[in-house]
Structure 1
Amino acid sequence: MNRVKAAVFASGTGSNFQAIMEKENLGCDITLLVCDQPEAKVIAKAEALHVPTLVFEPKQYASKADFETMIRDKLQELDVQWIFLAGYMRLIGPTLLQEFEGRIINIHPSLLPQFPGLDAIGQAFRANVEQTGVTIHYVDAGMDTGPIIAQEKVPISKTDTLEQLQQKIQQVEHRLYPEVIQSLVNNNQ
């Protein structure tokens, strides 16, 4: 039986990418890293792990449809079946949503629907809520609005600094995301 192939999309440091790559028995092969930031640290992590990269600058394309068509063609060439967003800071457009319907997942550092979008940890911290968390969800056309797959709460202590809260969230992300990926891939083969 052929192993499932997946791509990770990331825009930043790549800590969730690294956690996915380090998961034993993930159930799929990460065959490509897609990155929209040529200076992102995740690129070096992918290269160190011998994962091929597709790095592009969106502004070099006339439209989102143009760069998503280029990405789609590369994913088809590699027979990629799943897309895992790991700090990819762009909304996925119709070109990829149609091709990979029900096979794109994202991780978000809050208990959605609370604190969607950018700076979710900072939003939660400034709101003085008692807890936040991590959500893994299917991607749809909205921002952090797709069906929820898994959530885990993270308590916010009155003594937590923003940096401490970020660390607590990342610890949960790095454990939960690879576990959910493993479960999804194994249940959909």
Structure 2
Amino acid sequence: MKKIGILLSGRGSNFRAIKKAVDNDDIKNAEIAVVISNKEDAAGLAFAKEQGLDTVFINHQDFADRESYDREIVKELNSRNVDLVCLAGFMRIISPWFVEQFENRIINIHPSLLPSFPGLDAQRQAFDYGVRFTGCTVHFVDAKMDNGPVILQRVVEVKGDDTAESLAERILEQEHKAYPEAVALFCDDRLRVDGRKVKII
């Protein structure tokens, strides 16, 4: 049984998609062990509490630097024997030290086809650039932002009548499919990392 730790800062829509997949047994041999947020009023944290999940609020403003904060998070994760950390709208860059503690065991989803359009507001970046196709990427997290080995990508066509907002909504629909799929592959021990490449076995 793989134990999943969720980190979020907002509504947690991808967390909800993962939880639904666990509940429906689309993600097998797994349970959500803890949901951690740096925002006490995060809607995702409130939802986790409603669902009876173990929740923790850790205020990053209480810590002198990023690594000190991350050490507190890692302590909470390790106390629950977490196998996989899922960043689900966690609006903080995690430290290299954190990455080392969970090497190839932290995954994130980004709303573009990485390496294109890393960073904030990727949907609008793609829309403003005028690309015909964009999408989302589930990847392992390394010490650089939006840089780790790619697990899965889903492509979204940019339509002629799209706005940045409508494009973002359709990308999010694909995120809610891709993220649980990637988590399921991890929990089934079907992912192998070889340098920059991830092999699905």
TM-score interval w.r.t. the shorter chain?
A: over 0.9
Q: Is the 8 A contact 1:9 1:87 kept in 2?
A: yes
- Structure 1 match to 2:58: 56
Q: Provide structure 2 residue ranges, at least 5 long, that are not aligned to the other structure.
A: 192-201
> Counterpart of 1:34?
36
Residues in 2 aligned to 1:49 and 1:169: alpha-carbon distance in whole angstroms: 26
Greater mean alpha carbon deviation, residues 179-188 or residues 127-136: 179-188
Counterpart mapping for 1:66-85 below 5 A:
66-85=68-87
TM-score, normalization: structure 1?
A: 0.95
Matched, 1:10 2:8: yes
1:43 corresponds to which letter in structure 2? L
Query: Residues of 1 paired with 2:133 and 2:96: CA distance?
Result: 34
Q: Which residue of 1 aligns with 2:111?
A: 109
Q: Which amino acid counterpart does residue 67 of structure 2 have in structure 1? A: A
Would the alpha carbon gap of residues 188 and 80 (structure 1) be closer, same or farther in structure 2, given more than 3 Å must change?
farther
Taking the TM superposition and a 5 Å limit, the aligned residue runs for 1:128-147 are 128-147=130-149
Q: Could you tell me how far 1:188 is from its partner in structure 2?
A: 5.5
Aligned to 2:171: 169
Q: Which amino acid aligns with 2:12?
A: G
The total of aligned residue pairs comes to 187
Structure 1 stretches lacking a partner, 5+ long? none
Sequence identity of aligned pairs in percent?
Answer: 39
* 3-state SS of paired residue (1:187): coil
Contact kept, 8 Å, 1:36 with 1:58, in 2: the verdict is yes
Q: Tell me, yes or no, if the aligned pair for 2:12 and 2:44 is still in contact at 8 Å.
A: yes
The residue identity in structure 1 corresponding to 2:114 is L
CA–CA distance in 1 between the matches of 2:81 and 2:131? 43
Kept in 2: contact 1:110–1:135 (CA 8 A) = yes
Of residues 14, 17, 42 in structure 2, which corresponds to 1:19?
A: 17
Alignment deviations for residues 49-107 of structure 1 (CA, whole Å, 9 cap, x no partner):
11111112211101112111111111111011110111111112123211111100000
User: What amino acid is the match of 1:39?
Assistant: D
Q: Structure 1 CA distance, aligned partners of 2:119 and 2:41?
A: 22
What's the offset of the Cα at 1:162?
1.9
1:153 aligned partner: 155
In the other structure, the counterpart of 2:48 is 46
Q: Is the 8 A contact 1:91 1:141 kept in 2?
A: no
